[in-house]
Structure 1
Amino acid sequence: MSSLMEPNYTLLAFLFAQKFVYAEAVFVLALLRALLATAAARFSALLAAALAAAITLTVFAPALNLQAHPVYPVATRALDHGQGMTALLCLMAVMLASGVLPGHRHRWIDALHGLLCLGLLGLWIATMF
């Protein structure tokens, strides 16, 4: 028999992945792609790394005592838009673009990013039901 106060573990997993896993993992993958790719794929990977770094910095701003910065409220509102998924979907699109633009190499980066996308989107869909 379940209690009313028992947490929904699917929702907790989604929130944890949304805030502390996806952007950080994409940051690492985007830096690897930027080092290993050439031409337009490198530029797109650097853009994805910058966006992932901005998302991560915004999430950890209160712990770093950076919430007094004038950019913080705007960044927080941007991360809260669309249940927190709008910024992550934009990051996902930029990282996916780096895999199809000329100059991309090492398909294993795309495979890892695809697994991250499937995991995050699967948890997001599972929390809707």
Structure 2
Amino acid sequence: MIDHTGINVSNFENSKEFYTKALAPLGYQLSKEFGDAIAGFGIEGELDFWMIRGEVNTPRIHIAFRAQTREMVQAFHTAALAIGGRDNGAPGLRPQYHSNYYAAFVLDPDGHNIEAVCHIPI
């Protein structure tokens, strides 16, 4: 099991706002900051996603966040687009992965491919 992961971002404040709003429908909160260079996000204080100001990862990173419901996937996609994310795959089933793989994809401000996925059948 992965304990945590992180990405480098070019504009810390812009990305912090993006992730705060985009991940909120999944239950994530900005929980810890170290100055204007590091921010940690998680659910109920369990920080598993970190954002660090620096040279953007090349190639860009793909991170999938687990959602408990398909509605949460849809809300993530809507929130991410509203804050400036770019659509990289509308909410829907991805049966090529498995019959209940329901996901949405957005590109963050630096072009990282961010996904919300629900594996639970309706």
Larger radius of gyration: 1
TM-score norm. by structure 2 comes to 0.33
* Larger relative contact order (Cα-Cα within 8 Å, sequence gap ≥ 6): 1
More strand by share: 2
